Structure 1
Amino acid sequence: MAGWHMPSLLRPRSIQARTALMSAVLSLLVLTVIGFGLDLTVRNRIHSHLFIDTQRVATDWIASMGPNGVPEPPAAHEDLVQLVDSRNRVITASRAASGRAPLTSPFPDGEDGLQYRIDCPDGDRCVVLTAVRVLPVQSRLFWNGEPHAVYAGRPEPGLLATHRLELFIAIGVLLMTAGWTWASWCVAGRTLRPVREIRERVTEISVRDLSLRVPQPHGRDEIAELARASNSFLDRLDTSVRQQRHFASMVSHELRTPLAGLRTQLEEALLYREETDPYETISTAVRTTERCQAIIDEMLTVARVRTAATHQPEPVNLGTLAREEAAARTDGVPVRVEAEDEVIVLGNRVQLCSVLTNLLVNAQRHACSRVDVMVRRDGDEAVVTVLDDGDGIAPEDRERVFEPFVRLKDGRRRDPKGTGLGLALCRVTADAHHGTLRVEDSPRGARFVLRLPLPAGAAAAGSAPQLSR
């Protein structure tokens, strides 16, 4: 039975129907066993009462046999009473048993003078009877010692004789099975109702509109967890699709202008061959393609960092990383570093190095005389601050600078060839490391603050920080 499976043609497709079917089969088996036991119990109980009654009738009649002779058998219409000799011949009988063959056979010999029997003659109702041997004293008194016995019985009740008991129990089993199956159907339907609602809502969701969410039932059962997981997946899918659309629109927008200019220059070179310098046309085309390639490379880097998880993160000492990047910046205004010892986070060293490089390049571009870099712990976070002494960023532009291809007027003046993707890449990398990157208030210049989570236990280890330069 452990390896038995319902044939696929007989197995319903609906979970609700399968649950109700299995409940029906199990309840039918269990109730059949219970009904069988109930039938035996009722039969035994009725037979026990009949044995007690017939034994009382037989013993009372035997007790009445005395010196005055053998009295008449009991006259109750339902009692079948017979007096038989050792050859099982009827000597006398009650009115109900008159003219009948012996109620049972053989004659009760042996030491057991009291026997309970159920005799079922062919084509007639079974008789429940008690066979009692007459006392030896009475046998010697009336029949010269020949053994005699008294049969006292009653016909089996119609409830048992006509199998109505089994019929009633079978009807009860079927009704209870039907009731249990209906209850299982209702309970399964109620349980699976949220699943149907989730399915209907999912069919309404399309790639064009991922704003819909599946209904989320209360509680913490499996269906509620499924709904929460589905909504979380839809949130991530919606975010990913939005990012892809944004990526495609930004690339097409930023590449449209240089490609249109390149096409115009090439068409002019073809139409006005004598008036156009081929060398100048090729040089301009090379510069345009270089800009397009820079835009594509930066966008691919942004997309790669945004969509790829940081697999197998490694320990990165932010203080050491900041000092190395500052030492590499030999051009421009000087960079001064203050760092606590052992400020270590888990992440991608190459990506974090790219963040510091972009922040230092941006700070040196706008600084007047110096750039300060500070690395420290703040609770359970590592904080890297890059501060320049330039003109700063207006509060209304502090979030715009992290948008792809957004370049403020001063930035375009200081770096005409820039793509406007450096700070956007820094923000995306910070998000990928579960951190934040913001522009915070400062007395002068722009103050970029990168916050990254410390590993468990790292904050307590740094309770006595020391600054190094």
Structure 2
Amino acid sequence: MSLPLPRVRSIRARYTLVAAALSFVFLTVVGAYLDVVTRYKAESEAYVETERVATQWSAAVRDGSVPRVIPTSSRVDLIQIIDADGHILGASRAASRLPPLTHVRPPPDDRFKSLEECSPDGKCVMLMAIRDTPAKDSPFVYAGLRVPPLLTDHWLEAAITACALPVLILVTLMTWSLVGRTLRPVEIIRARMSEISGTDLSLRVPLPPGRDEITMLARTANQTLARLEAAVKQQRRFASDASHELRRPISGLRTGLEEALLYPDDVEPRQAIREALATTDRLEAIVDDLLVLARLRAADPEPPEQLDLGALAAEVAASRPVRPPVFVVAAPGVLVRGYRIQLIRLLENLLANAQRHAATGVRIQVRAEGGQAMAAVADDGPGVAPEDRERIFTRFVRLDDARRREPGGSGLGLAISREIAQTHGGSLRVEDSPKGARFVLRLPCVPCVPGQPVGPADGR
């Protein structure tokens, strides 16, 4: 039964092992190739040299000019001339005291023969044997040289291994060092991320130098932390504002009910019930708007659809009260992609706010402008002071005029409207107007068809 190998969990160790394994395979292949090539080249050169010397003295034998002691002028120092009976007719100084170098006798039809002879003590000689003539009593010429020590006893393989081993160790150490240096910023990022808690999101991970993937990861992590910090701050502020806004009507409701219970003779029951219902209506409106804000942050189950913003504005205007009147001026072909229910809610909030403050009427203008769909809702009321134009989009903020005109409002309508606009990739702000307030909604436009506004249409 084989035991499972332990799994290496460290990326640094895994990459080092892979690099070492690949380097080992590569060096093994290269070493084997060098061994084969070196041996082949050495043997080829040796046999070419022995053949040249043997051929030279074979010609001398035929000419009858062979001395008793054959001189040598190359590394081929083993030369013997042997007759058909095995007697040595001539030899070089190095081979004169040696027995015949080989007992191989090339046949008449194959006069040249290369071979390797090894003695009992392990010493080998590379030989070229030449039969001088095809005659039966032809002498034989042998020329040879001892095999270099590098090619015997696996010295060549040992030398190649001795050269490859430091390379393998160097590659392994370099891989370990480089991967460690590459992953060091990741470890720093991990350590910093472990310090970040839900109570303190102000910390950021350090950005490594360069523009590689780890730097992009750190930058994305910081951007995510910034968004998370902003969302948490917004939620905390929202929870604080919501609790503060809900506490007042709940306290008022409780006080009214306690008075009705403690002083039944001084409190008219029907009046107490009507006041409690009015407070309940306000609480219900606040809770409903809070749920709308919560749903805006969640994914919409329905995919966005292509909508005609002018037709949608006319539809919403038609559903509003007839006083004060709403007039729609819409260019054709102003198309946007979005969620129908949300955009209807946005336009309803803007129209409700405009009708609440209008003196004689409200005007909606829809057109394509600068590659965007623009819907402007204008009234002829008192308008919004420049210093309050951003503050009115804050949750639960209600100006004195709004509190006077609608005491039971939640203060979330305009905040919801801006949230919807931003969810659709657009914007909602208050812009300058000759008279009254002018709320301008801008949304990304599905390739709009520029057109002139159609004639005014009565929203009634």
TM-score by length of 1: 0.87
Indicate conservation of the 8 Å contact 2:68/2:89, yes or no: no
| 2:25 alignment counterpart | 29
Indicate conservation of the 8 Å contact 1:251/1:296, yes or no: no
Pairing partner for 2:410 from 383, 395, 419: 419
| 2:450 alignment counterpart | 462
- Determine if the alignment matches structure 1 residue 72 to structure 2 residue 31: no
C-alpha separation between the residues in 2 aligned to 1:22 and 1:108?
55
C-alpha separation between the residues in 1 aligned to 2:86 and 2:187?
77
Deviation sequence 1:130-164 (CA, Å, 0-9, x none)? 1111235xx6xxxxx51321221111112222432
- Determine if the alignment matches structure 1 residue 172 to structure 2 residue 126: no
Deviation sequence 1:164-203 (CA, Å, 0-9, x none)? 2221210111112222223333333343344333323322
| 2:12 alignment counterpart | 16
How many Å apart are 1:105 and its aligned residue? Answer: 4.1
| 2:118 alignment counterpart | 120
- Determine if the alignment matches structure 1 residue 129 to structure 2 residue 117: no
| 1:41 alignment counterpart | 37
Residue type of the partner of 2:51?
Q
Residue type of the partner of 2:70?
P
Indicate conservation of the 8 Å contact 2:76/2:143, yes or no: no
How many Å apart are 1:99 and its aligned residue? Answer: 4.6
Indicate conservation of the 8 Å contact 1:114/1:130, yes or no: yes
How many Å apart are 1:320 and its aligned residue? Answer: 1.7
Q: Which runs of 5+ in 1 are unaligned?
A: 1-6, 140-144
Deviation sequence 1:276-314 (CA, Å, 0-9, x none)? 666655554444333222211111101211333585211
Residue type of the partner of 2:354?
A
Pairing partner for 1:56 from 46, 52, 57: 52
Indicate conservation of the 8 Å contact 2:332/2:453, yes or no: yes
| 1:214 alignment counterpart | 205
SS at match of 2:141: strand
How many Å apart are 1:72 and its aligned residue? Answer: 1.7
C-alpha separation between the residues in 2 aligned to 1:110 and 1:35?
42
- Determine if the alignment matches structure 1 residue 359 to structure 2 residue 350: yes
Indicate conservation of the 8 Å contact 1:78/1:96, yes or no: no
C-alpha separation between the residues in 2 aligned to 1:413 and 1:280?
21
Q: Which runs of 5+ in 2 are unaligned?
A: none
C-alpha separation between the residues in 2 aligned to 1:203 and 1:69?
96
Higher alpha-carbon deviation: 307-316 or 400-409: 307-316
Residue type of the partner of 1:132?
I
C-alpha separation between the residues in 2 aligned to 1:87 and 1:421?
124
| 2:376 alignment counterpart | 385
Deviation sequence 1:394-443 (CA, Å, 0-9, x none)? 11100010111100011101111111111111111111111111011111
C-alpha separation between the residues in 2 aligned to 1:90 and 1:300?
117
- The alpha-carbon distance between structure 1 residues 106 and 271, as it changes in their structure 2 partners (threshold 3 A), is farther
How many Å apart are 1:270 and its aligned residue? Answer: 5.9
C-alpha separation between the residues in 2 aligned to 1:122 and 1:301?
101
Residue type of the partner of 1:302?
L
Matches within 5 A, 1:241-256: 241-256=232-247
Matches within 5 A, 1:180-199: 180-199=171-190
Indicate conservation of the 8 Å contact 1:65/1:71, yes or no: no
Indicate conservation of the 8 Å contact 1:51/1:128, yes or no: yes
SS at match of 1:127: strand
How many Å apart are 1:361 and its aligned residue? Answer: 1.1
C-alpha separation between the residues in 2 aligned to 1:465 and 1:401?
30
C-alpha separation between the residues in 2 aligned to 1:181 and 1:71?
62
Indicate conservation of the 8 Å contact 2:368/2:450, yes or no: yes
SS at match of 2:70: coil
Matches within 5 A, 1:248-327: 248-267=239-258, 282-308=273-299, 311-327=302-318
- The alpha-carbon distance between structure 1 residues 317 and 287, as it changes in their structure 2 partners (threshold 3 A), is same
Higher alpha-carbon deviation: 28-37 or 92-101: 92-101
Residue type of the partner of 2:55?
T
Indicate conservation of the 8 Å contact 1:306/1:429, yes or no: no
- Determine if the alignment matches structure 1 residue 94 to structure 2 residue 92: yes
- Determine if the alignment matches structure 1 residue 403 to structure 2 residue 394: yes
Q: How many residues align?
A: 453
| 1:106 alignment counterpart | 104
TM-score by length of 2: 0.89
Higher alpha-carbon deviation: 386-395 or 145-154: 145-154
- The alpha-carbon distance between structure 1 residues 467 and 177, as it changes in their structure 2 partners (threshold 3 A), is farther
C-alpha separation between the residues in 2 aligned to 1:438 and 1:428?
12
Higher alpha-carbon deviation: 432-441 or 281-290: 281-290
Report the identity percentage: 48
C-alpha separation between the residues in 1 aligned to 2:261 and 2:97?
136
